[in-house]
Structure 1
Amino acid sequence: MNDLDKNHIRRLENQISVLTQQLIQANHDIARLHIHLGNAIAESDSIDWQRTGTKIEGRIAALESLKFKQSHTW
């Protein structure tokens, strides 16, 4: 095997090493995101969405009323 082949093999081995490390990091990132998603779902399940929705609708109505009053003031 000549030096050119050896250098090419060494570069390929380095690229494989870098890609392996990136894959390991990506797997860690996915695991962390999976945990965050699980926590978000658990938190979402504990929210009273009907009550929250009513609050949001009330705030929207109040803002629309305020906007209407401001647009009709001289």
Structure 2
Amino acid sequence: MIEYSRSTGNCEVTPYLQDNGADLAFEDRMTREATNRDPDVEIVSVIAPSLDDVQRTHSRYFVRMNHARVA
């Protein structure tokens, strides 16, 4: 799951490596979206074999890599 600030370029990546990781990521995303009050923050869940794949397919979230953090 990625939590991304459009204005700052900061992003936080939370990996879900369990067998049911996609379900857990989606549930967490829904919870975070329900409580998020900042319209500038995007919260997305992405299914991919690796973080490298996510960085390649969703590169706009990682443009400012010095501001990216894996939780």
TM-score, normalised via structure 1 length? 0.26
Which has the greater radius of gyration? 1
TM-score, normalised via structure 2 length? 0.27
The structure carrying a bigger strand percent of its residues is: 2
The structure carrying a bigger helix percent of its residues is: 1
Task: Using CA pairs under 8 Å that are at least 6 residues apart, name the structure with larger relative contact order, 1 or 2.
Answer: 2
